[in-house]
Amino acid sequence: MNFDHLRDRYGWIAGALIILTAIVISIVQYRSMRPTRSFTLVALATGFGIGGLLFVPSVPRILTALRLFVIARAPTATSGPFQVTVVNAALLVSAANDPTISVQIWYPAAANLPATELLSESATPVACSKVMDDRRLPDTRSQFPILLYAPSNGGVKDESASTAAELASHGYVVMAIDDIDRDPLPSGAPDDWQPLTFDFSSAQAFEITLRIGDRKVRRQAEKALTALDRLKACANADWRARIQFDRIGFFGFSFGGSTAAEAGTFDPRVVAVANLDGWLFGRAAFGAFDKPYLVILVEDSVFPAPRQLQSPNPNKRFEAVLTARDLREEMRLANRTGGFGYYVLGSFHENLSDEVFKRRFSKSWLLRNPYRVKSIRDAYLLAFFDTYVRNMPSPLLTQSPSPFRGVEVLKVNEYWLREAAKSTIQSSTGSN
């Protein structure tokens, strides 16, 4: 952790303490009625100056944290040229035994249509055919690319709504699904269709976790792609003619990132995948993914130390084994042609979704600016999909060092490549 990072996170606390100390000394000096020495004046001025330098830059963040605590919600402003409309839709069955898929869709709306208020999660989604009755895309472009989004394990479709809206404001149609574990299990479902829980309490539990994860990631990828098929089938003439249903991007947060990568291993329509800090499962975890790939990792996503891989505590040991396996593959993917990876200091897992804006994370807002990380994730996602879905190369992807302070580029990064090489041996020893 470098000095700038420490200053950003804890500098305001040190600054506040220095200023308070200087104030107390000033009050004591005033009440003592003694003449103030030159040395004391210089010390007080220095204290107020240093304290101000450390504290004042954090005032906007502190005010934002206080405002978020009163009104905890994700940001709604977007930076693109398009007005964004969002709807909940029910994609109806294509066969008698297929369940309805509920999705949320963000899209750039025609200028003459009013924005539609977001329906609450408790509201019944509108049938796709009815949703499409009067939905038109702007006339300023002939083609609009579509992106799929998958949430975290057990998550919901609006988990990254602010990012979906941001991408839609730049001309993308974004469709999100709920995590498949929220769907009712069909009768007679096999044991490894049970909801995924990350159980590292024993070697057997770890093996079951991997098996369920591998099966789930495929099922969830298939669900998202089935939703794409149903949207195309129910789309009106305007959408069918102007949305590129055969060339899509897919991104996801946490387990959703693994879902996106898995979809890219078997469906040719998926041409680019972005993974927001998710462990890889399924075929994508073992080298089967070969398309443009973006991964964003948070501060805690580091290669485990040997003591973690050899820990007598099975929870720590097997989590370390899975983390090491994943990071080795992430580094391989990020260092291929068309691969990109970024490590964001001063962030944690929920920073890569709108979960961070919920009140239960309020303590973190004083130490880690959630808007900063959101702006970073949105910028890299837009640059990546512009480059590989829209075929409009963005220079941001290849800038090294990153123009964002506190972001490490993983491509051709000697430290990360060295850690990946060391981890191969360490993980082999730790899993025995």
Helix (H) or strand (E) holding 68: helix 59-70
Q: What is the pLDDT of residue 25?
A: 81
Q: Given this model, what pLDDT does residue 211 score?
A: 95
* Token duo for residue 81: 């040229």
Residue 92 has a pLDDT of 83
Residue 401, preceding bond cis, omega within 30 degrees?
yes
Question: What pLDDT is recorded for position 119?
Answer: 33
Q: 110-139 pLDDT, tens per residue? A: 865 544 443 334 356 788 888 887 788 998
Q: Cα-Cα-Cα-Cα dihedral of 339, 345, 347, 352, to 10°?
A: -20
Q: Edge-to-edge strands of the sheet including 407-409?
A: 126-127, 84-91, 101-108, 173-177, 144-150, 243-253, 270-276, 293-298, 339-344, 407-409
Could you tell me which of 199, 405, 387 has the C-alpha nearest to residue 396?
A: 387
Contact (CB, 8 A) for 356 and 370: yes
Residues 297, 298, 302, CA angle at the centre, nearest 5°?
A: 80
Alpha carbons 411 and 202: distance in angstroms, whole number: 35
CB atoms within 10 A of CB 27: 10
Rounded to 5 degrees, what angle do the CA atoms 137, 157, 292 make? 75
Please name the residue that has the structure tokens 């490549």. Answer: 417
Which residues have CB under 8 Å from 416's CB, separation 6+? 331, 343, 408, 410
What does the alpha-carbon distance between residue 111 and residue 83 come to, in Å, rounded to a whole number? 7
Q: Give 7-58 as a DSSP string.
A: HHHHHHHHHHHHHHHHHHHHHHHHHHTPPPPHHHHHHHHHHHHHHHHHHGGG
Identify the segments of the chain with pLDDT beneath 50.
114-122, 430-432
The pLDDT, as a whole number, for residue 120 is 36
pLDDT for position 118:
37
